[in-house]
Structure formats: C-alpha cells, structure tokens
Amino acid sequence: MELTNKTILVVGGATGIGKATAIECAQRGASVIVADYNQIEGAATAASCGGMYVPVNVADEASVKAMYAAIGEHHDHINVLVQTAGVLKGAYVPVPEFPLETFENVIDINATGSFLCAKYGVPFIKKSGGGVIVLISSVAAIGVSSSVAYGTSKGAVSSLGVTLANKLAADNIRVNVVHPGGIKTYMKLSVIGAEAELRGGSSEQAISQAAAGSELGEPEGVAKILAFLASDEADYVRGFLFTR
Ligand SMILES: NC(=O)c1ccc[n+]([C@@H]2O[C@H](COP(=O)([O-])OP(=O)(O)OC[C@H]3O[C@@H](n4cnc5c(N)ncnc54)[C@H](O)[C@@H]3O)[C@@H](O)[C@H]2O)c1
C-alpha cells in the first residue's frame, strides 16, 4: 500500500494518533500537511514528514478558513482529510456537577471542529476529482466514556461521518469513521492519571505503569489503519471501523 501522489491533510497531527498518522503517510510517499493548535509540536511533526505545518483551532470557523487559505497557497487540492484533533475534558465529573462551559467546549472542538474541517475541506478534495475524509470518533461514542461531554461529542462525530458519507458519495468522496479503543497517548494517559487520583492513588505511578504496559494500543497501530483508509486500496471500505 503506497500513498505516492496523495496530498494528505492531518488535522491534530502534532501529537498522538495524528502525529503517528502523519509520519506513516509520509513514509508511504504522501505529501503531508500537519495542522494543529500546538505550534511547537505541530511544526516538529511536519518537519519530520518533510511537509508543511499550518496552525489551526478547529473550533473557530475563521481559523479553519485561514488554515485552508494557507494550504491553498502551496497546494491546489488535497486528496485526503484525516481529522484527529480532539480533547477529553471533564473525566469523572458527575453529571449534576458537569459545567455547561466544559460540555460546550468539548462539543465545539470534537464535533463542530470535525464539521468545519470537512465543510471547508470538501472543495479542496473535489478539485482532485474526489477523495477521502476520515474522522476519529471513539468507543466512547457507544456509551463507555469517562466524560459525559466527550462521549456525547464522539456520538456526534460518528453521526456526522455517516451523514457526510451519504451526502458526499455523489462527489466521489468516501467517508470513514474510526473508533479507537484505549491508545497510549497524552489524552488517554491523562485520564488514567485522573482516575488513579480519584481512587486516592498516585497519578504519576498510574501513568508510568500504563505507558510501560501493553494493555493500551500504540498510536502507530491506529496510524497504519488510517494510512490504509487514505489509500486507493481501501476503496471498498464503508462506514465505521473499530480498533483495539
Ligand atoms: N488515545 C485514545 O485512547 C483515544 C481513543 C479513542 C479516540 N481517540 C481520539 O483520537 C484523536 C487523537 O487523540 P490522541 O489520543 O492522539 O490525543 P492527543 O492529545 O495526543 O492528540 C490530540 C491532538 O489534537 C490537537 N488539538 C486539540 N484541540 C485542538 C483544537 N481546538 N484545534 C486544533 N488542534 C487541536 C492537540 O494539540 C493534539 O495534537 C482524538 O480525536 C481522540 O478523541 C483517542
């Protein structure tokens, strides 16, 4: 499976699954664009992929428009959008105490951010005659989440994906939604630390044990799936995928 001649935009590519995906795609010959609001690590990932870095806050429409304007100065099209940017806030906060502000912020980034990246990305993908959009939901979408906001937002991402798949099929744009399980990234390890603290244990110890253990998957494992979905070989794949 190779990605030569593909221009792939990885949103959320500074760290974790997005970073691993950007590197995997670049190794398979793609021209990679890394977008993220973490400027230092985003630029570092882009440099390691030989690609360009673009700053973005996916929750801000003007920022998403500016991201595509910056991309448009160097690329007249993209073949693939992989939208991995996301946050998990409010882990283990009881529902009656969950702040509305946190709930809205998580929805804005995870769900609205995915919509905005797709909305302004479609014209770029259409310029290449069609292509692929991959959204990252989570097993949290089907009810197993430490945060009511995160679970809700990922349910919205999954539904966004099936709706986009239906609406964009006529434009020859395939949309897949990947639902990772527990993956060894900053996001997941932070939640493990928070859970340990709640139980009166040491956050640092829990994080280092989880990071060293094999219970969680590696971001590179998910990245291989995302790179496959970006490829022409995945043409027959439709809808949702679940990973470990
Ligand atoms: N790690 C897991 O166990 C797991 C499981 C299921 C789903 N996911 C999903 O995978 C995706 C990647 O997460 P990860 O685990 O690699 O964690 P991560 O924290 O390493 O990566 C998230 C990336 O999104 C970026 N980001 C966050 N908010 C942003 C914003 N407003 N605008 C632009 N960029 C922003 C961050 O800077 C970071 O680079 C997320 O959507 C997450 O919900 C992760």
Mean pLDDT of the chain: 97
Determine, yes or no, domain membership for 2. no
Both 44 and 71 in a single domain? yes
Both 158 and 229 in a single domain? yes
| Calpha distance 2→80 (Å, rounded) | 14
Other beta carbons within 10 angstroms of residue 221's beta carbon come to 15
**Average confidence (pLDDT) over 35-64:** 98
Determine, yes or no, domain membership for 202. yes
**Average confidence (pLDDT) over 207-224:** 96
Output the six-digit token pair for 12: 């959320």
Q: Up-side HSE of residue 63: CA atoms within 13 Å toward CB?
A: 14
Q: Name the residue with the closest Cα to ligand 1, atom 40.
A: 86
Both 80 and 193 in a single domain? no
Both 101 and 22 in a single domain? yes
Q: What is the pLDDT of residues 136-184, one digit of tens each?
A: 999 999 978 999 999 999 999 999 999 999 999 999 999 999 999 999 9
Residue 92 has pLDDT above 90, yes or no: yes
Determine, yes or no, domain membership for 242. no
Catalytic hit among 53, 120, 150, 236: 150
Other beta carbons within 10 angstroms of residue 118's beta carbon come to 23
**Average confidence (pLDDT) over 47-68:** 98
Both 200 and 86 in a single domain? no
Both 141 and 52 in a single domain? yes
Output the six-digit token pair for 159: 């539904």
Domain containing 59 equals 7-181+219-234
- Give catalytic status of residue 53 as yes or no: no
Number of domains comprising the chain: 2
| Calpha distance 239→244 (Å, rounded) | 17
Both 82 and 127 in a single domain? yes
Q: Name the residue with the closest Cα to ligand 1, atom 19.
A: 187
Q: Specify the pLDDT at position 1.
A: 80
CATH at residue 229? 3.40.50.720
Radius of gyration of the chain (CA): 17
Determine, yes or no, domain membership for 127. yes
Q: Specify the pLDDT at position 112.
A: 99
Residues with CB under 6 A from ligand 1: 12, 14-18, 36-38, 56-59, 84-87, 109, 113, 136, 138, 180, 182-183, 185-188, 219
Q: Name the residue with the closest Cα to ligand 1, atom 35.
A: 85
**Average confidence (pLDDT) over 4-22:** 98
